[in-house]
Amino acid sequence: QITSRLADVFNQRCEVNRRASVSGCVINTCGWVKSSGYQALVHAASAFEVDVVAVLDQERLYNELKRDLPHFVRTVLLPKSGGVVERSKDFRRECRDERIREYFYGFRGCFYPHAFDVKFSDVKIYKVGAPTIPDSCLPLGMSQEDNQLKLVPVTPGRDMVHHLLSVSTADGPDDNISETSVAGFIVVTGVDLERQVFTVLSPAPRPLPKNFLLIMDIRFMDLK
């Protein structure tokens, strides 16, 4: 659903921007190529109506995509350069933390982010996705609903510390927050339950541009 929305936005841009329409786009996917990851690859190819798919050193994935993608999609198998190794989980985590740090502090610390308090009552916090209910717990005749994109309200608490939050540009909960663009990102550095406020690190000064926030599983500890 989110990928389809992203493709729609890109197509809208192409309609008003001739240069973007002529050049098209390059979709850089992740290394998750099995099960749901593979389905995500096929869906992205369909949503963006891609005409060329380049597979790097994964012959099985190449054959599966050749089988499942439309015949007009050119699928190419490319060899991996000599000496290239797969990145470890720890290395990927360090790279992710470094990108988050650059978002707030800039390259080599050229930016100066802002720290300020946000009242619990001034914002609405949600997470995307709800736990799946076992079929045995459903009322008779009820079918399982897709909870992957369901918005679940989150009560502010100490467990938010170090979590990254995206600031949605939605004006209300009826705006389909999970598909709405984000104005930017903040990270929670502290929670004060007595004062009912939490402290955030933000690339822009207060106040927050909107009051609808989405909490992520991604954590960032500002140790440097």
Beta strand ranges found along 37-123 (DSSP E): 52-56, 74-78, 114-119
Instruction: Name the pTM for this structure.
Output: 0.79
Q: Among 25-39, 84-98, 119-133, whose mean pLDDT is lowest?
A: 119-133
User: For the segment 4-21, what is each residue's pLDDT rounded down to a tens digit?
Assistant: 989 999 999 999 998 888
Yes or no: say if 201 and 115 are a contact pair by the CB < 8 Å rule: yes
Question: 77 phi and psi, to 5 degrees?
Answer: -100, 120
Tell me the domain boundaries of the chain. 1-78, 90-219
C-beta pairs of 198-201 under 8 Å, 24+ apart in sequence? 198/117, 198/118, 198/120, 198/156, 198/160, 199/115, 199/116, 199/117, 199/118, 200/115, 200/116, 200/117, 200/118, 200/165, 201/104, 201/113, 201/114, 201/115
Report pLDDT for 130: 65
DSSP 137: G
Superfamily, domain 90-219: Pre-mRNA cleavage complex subunit Clp1, C-terminal domain (2.40.30.330)
Q: Which two tokens stand for residue 36?
A: 């749901």
Per-range mean pLDDT, top range of 86-90, 108-112, 205-209: 205-209
pLDDT in tens, 62-95: 999 999 999 999 999 999 888 888 888 899 899 9
pLDDT of residue 36 exceeding 70: yes
Q: Is the pLDDT of residue 197 over 90?
A: yes
Q: Whole-number mean pLDDT of the chain? A: 89
Residue 131 pLDDT greater than 80, yes or no: no
C-beta of residue 177 within 8 angstroms of C-beta of residue 155 = no
* Residue 30 binned pLDDT confidence (cut-offs 50, 70, 90): confident
